[in-house]
Amino acid sequence: QVQLVGSGGGLVKPGGSLRLSCAASGFTFSDYYMSWIRQAPGKGLEWVSHISSSGSTIYYADSVKGRFTISRDNAKNSLYLQMNSLRAEDTAVYYCASRNRTGTPYNYWGQGTLVTVSS
């Protein structure tokens, strides 16, 4: 049974940092491209970042470039998102999601972890 379990969310002050994790099981994690996608309150889904199966190719949305860092540890079947210089507009539920490769839809999603940036 495929599972993506996100963790690490919470309340953080503006300018602070947080590290999200996503633990994968039930599939060969190292074969899949992974992304972080977020949904702010009352807004639609927004793609945040992408990492290839090997970790060699990484992309970021302009809104988080220079502040967020995506990484993965295939030995631990885990995906990470290091979020620095957090802003109120980063408040959202963050989902991890998998896809076979670029140009394919997301076949599995995690349940989401809530990040709240507020003083």
Partner 1 sequence: EIVLTQSPGTLSLSPGERATLSCRASQRVSSSYLAWYQRKPGQAPRLLIYGASSRATGVPDRFSGSGSGTDFTLTISSLEPEDVAMYYCQQFDTSPQTFGQGTKVEIK
CB neighbours of 10 closer than 8 A, spacing ≥ 6?
A: 18, 114, 115, 116
Among 14, 19, 45, 58, binds partner 1 (CB under 8 A): 45
Q: Which is nearer to partner 1, 23 or 61 (CB)?
A: 61
User: Is there binding between residue 36 and partner 1 (CB under 8 A)?
Assistant: no
29 touching partner 1, by CB under 8 A: no
Residue 109 touching partner 1 (CB under 8 A): yes
- Shortest spacing between CB 97 and partner 1, in angstroms: 8
**Token pair in block for residue 92:** 């959202």
Binds partner 1 (CB under 8 A): choice among 41, 44, 56, 75:
44
* 104 or 118: CB nearest partner 1: 104
The answer to whether 28 touches 85, Cβ cutoff 8 Å, is no
Q: Do 62 and 47 touch, CB atoms closer than 8 A?
A: no
Gap between the Cα atoms of 4 and 49, Å rounded: 16
Q: Is 58 among the residues that bind partner 1 (CB under 8 A)? A: no
Q: At its nearest, how many Å lie between partner 1 and the CB of residue 21?
A: 16
Q: Is the distance from CB of 68 to CB of 81 less than 8 angstroms? A: yes
d(CA 2, CA 59): 25
What's the closest the beta carbon of residue 29 comes to partner 1, in angstroms?
16
